[in-house]
Amino acid sequence: MRKLLLIIAFMLTTNMVGQNFILQEKDKQAHFAAGIAVGALGYHWSYKKHGNKTRAQITAMAASISAGILKELYDNRTGGTVEGRDVLATSMGGAVFTVTIPLFQKKKK
C-alpha cells in the first residue's frame, strides 16, 4: 500500500510530455503550500483528538480538499476566477503531506 501511494505521489509530481507542470505557476504554488498547511492542521487536530493515525490522515486529506473547494466558492461569489486546477493544486499539497507523514513516524513495536 505504501509503495502504491509513493508511486502515485511520484506520478503527480513529474512533468508529463507536452503539458505544463501544474506547480510551475506561482498561483498554483501558493495553493499547494496552502494544501500542506491545512492538511497539517487537520492532521494535528484529528490526531490530538482521536489518537488514530489513519483517521488523522483522512482528516488531513479531507481538510485540504475542502479548503480548495471553499476557496473557489469564495472566488465565485466575489467575482474572482474559478479554476479547477486551483483545487487540484491544493489537494496535491494535502496529498503530499498525507503520504509523507507515515515515512517520518516511528513504528510501534
Residue 49 lies in a domain: yes
- pLDDT level of residue 32 (50, 70, 90 thresholds): very high
Give me the mean pLDDT over the 24-40 stretch: 93
Residue 59 lies in a domain: yes
Residue 51 lies in a domain: yes
Q: Is the pLDDT of residue 20 over 80?
A: no
Nearest CA to 75 among 64, 63, 87?
87
Residue 19 lies in a domain: no
**Per-residue model confidence (pLDDT) at position 72:** 94
Q: Is the pLDDT of residue 29 over 70?
A: yes
Residue 43 lies in a domain: yes
- Domains contained in the chain, number: 1
**Per-residue model confidence (pLDDT) at position 108:** 58
Residue 13 lies in a domain: no
CA distance 43 to 50: 10
Question: pTM for the whole thing?
Answer: 0.77
